[in-house]
Chains A and B, each alone.
Chain A
Amino acid sequence: MRVLYFAWLREKIGLGEEVLAPPPDVTTPRALIAWLRQRGSGYVAAFASEDLIRAAVDQEFCSLDAPLGAAAEIAFFPPVTGG
Chain B
Amino acid sequence: MRRVCVQEADFDATTELGRLSAEAGGVSSFIGVVRGQAAGRQLAALRLEHYPGMTEKALTQLADTAITRWALTGCTIIHRVGRLAPGQNIVLVATASQHRAAALAATAFLIDQLKTNAPFWKAEEFADGTVEWVAARESDNTAASGWS
Contact = CB atoms under 8 A, between A and B. Distances in A.
Interface of A: 4, 6-8, 56, 59-61, 75, 77-83
Nearest to B116: A80
Given A59-B51, A59-B53, A82 B118 contact: yes
B99 interface: no
Given A82-B118, A83-B32, A59 B134 contact: no
Given A6-B49, A7-B49, A8-B133, A80 B54 contact: no
A35 to B, nearest CB: 22
B75 interface: no
Given A78-B136, A81-B134, A83-B140, 15 more contacts: A6-B119, A56-B51, A59-B51, A59-B54, A78-B133, A78-B135, A79-B135, A80-B136, A81-B122, A81-B135, A82-B50, A82-B114, A83-B90, A83-B91, A83-B115
Contact of A7 (B32, B111, B117, B121): B121
B51 A82 contact: no
23 contacts: A7-B123, A8-B133, A59-B51, A59-B57, A75-B119, A77-B119, A78-B121, A79-B135, A79-B136, A80-B117, A80-B118, A80-B121, A81-B120, A81-B134, A82-B50, A82-B114, A82-B115, A82-B118, A82-B119, A82-B122, A83-B32, A83-B111, A83-B118
Contacts of B32: 83
Nearest to A11: B133
A60 B55 CA distance: 10
A80 B119 contact: yes
A50 to B, nearest CB: 15
A56 B120 contact: no
A8 B136 CA distance: 13
A80 B79 CA distance: 14
Nearest to A75: B51
Contact of A61 (B90, B117, B123): B117
Nearest to B120: A82
B77 to A, nearest CB: 10
Contacts of B117: 61, 80
Contacts of A4: 51
